[in-house]
Amino acid sequence: MFELKDVGHVYGSHLVLDLPEYIEANPGEKWLLRGPSGSGKTTLLHIIAGLLKPSQGSVHIAEQDIYALTETDRDRFRGQHIGIVFQQFYLLPVFTVLENLLMAHYMAGVPQDKARVQQMLATLGLAGREHAYPSELSFGQQQRVAIARAVVNRPQLLLADEPTSGLDDTRSKQVLDLLVSSAREVQATLVVASHDHRITDSFDHCITLDEQVELPA
């Protein structure tokens, strides 16, 4: 489903990521990107998402070398194949819940499917909230809208950044179960970046990132 070849990333002269390996994930697998804060988890997640071209190496998603695409084509590819739950959610504040989800169809250039959106909202316990604005929702509801938006286009790859940070044990488990079941429903590969030790058991594969790697002088 995704393939990473020798991926590395440098910000300025600061080497933040160095994966001198070939890593291949298959459809439906559950991958954990773990490591301490600052170890490059978000950087790697964004690289896999097609949001950040790595300084070295290549990334294939569904056989496509994503950084060989133009930026416009990559945006469309991402919309159609990849769902992302950002740490800060990034719901569009001037749009309702329904509009936020329909926007995901629009951005991906796929026909709007209101029935699918309504069914997803019901599954996620958000029925009746479709006309609410993000600011009118609780943190947990906003997070579920963000998950719904990430899976509405039936992505092959579902990515989430620190989805359980700041949540108590019960909520942490609920959110993780929701990500796992949402991924399973669309048969997506799930990739979660997290420093949360509580969630390790939910994954069948992991990439462990080390603390800062320094460039040789």
Chain contacts with ligand ADP (rule: CB under 6 A):
11, 16, 35, 37-43
Residue (19 or 126) nearer to ligand ADP, CB: 19
How far separated are the first and last CA of the chain, in Å rounded? 37
Burial class (CB within 10 angstroms; exposed 0-12, middle 13-18, buried 19+) of 39? buried
From ligand ADP, Mg ion, none, which one binds at residue 81 (CB under 5 to 8 Å depending on kind)?
Answer: none
**Residue 142 interface partner, choices Mg ion, ligand ADP, none, CB cut-off 5-8 Å depending on type:** none
Pattern 15-54, binding to Mg ion, x per CB under 5 A?
--------------------------xx------------
Choose the contact partner of 172 out of ligand ADP, Mg ion, none; CB within 5 to 8 A by kind. none
39 binds, among Mg ion, ligand ADP, none (CB under 5 to 8 A by kind): ligand ADP
Residue number, 117 or 199, with CB nearest to Mg ion: 199
The residue (of 165 and 181) whose beta carbon lies closer to ligand ADP is 165
Specify the residue, 42 or 182, whose C-beta has the smaller distance to Mg ion: 42
3-state secondary structure of 189: strand
**In the complex, what is the shortest distance from the CB of residue 82 to ligand ADP, in angstroms, rounded to a whole number?**
18
Alpha carbon distance 142, 139 (integer Å): 5
Q: Which residue has the tokens 């393939």?
A: 3
The number of beta carbons lying within 10 Å of the beta carbon of residue 91 is 20
Q: Which of 9, 37, 59, 46 is nearest to 160 (CA)?
A: 46
> For residues 66 and 78, what is the distance between their CA atoms, to the nearest angstrom?
9
Residue 51 CB, nearest approach to ligand ADP (Å): 11
Task: Please give the structure tokens belonging to residue 76.
Answer: 């469309």
Residue 207 CB coordination number (10 Å): 18
Please identify, using beta-carbon distances, which residue of 30 and 41 lies nearer to ligand ADP. Answer: 41
Q: How far is residue 213 CA from its own chain's centroid?
A: 24
Name which of ligand ADP, Mg ion, none residue 155 binds, using a CB cut-off of 5 to 8 Å depending on partner kind. none
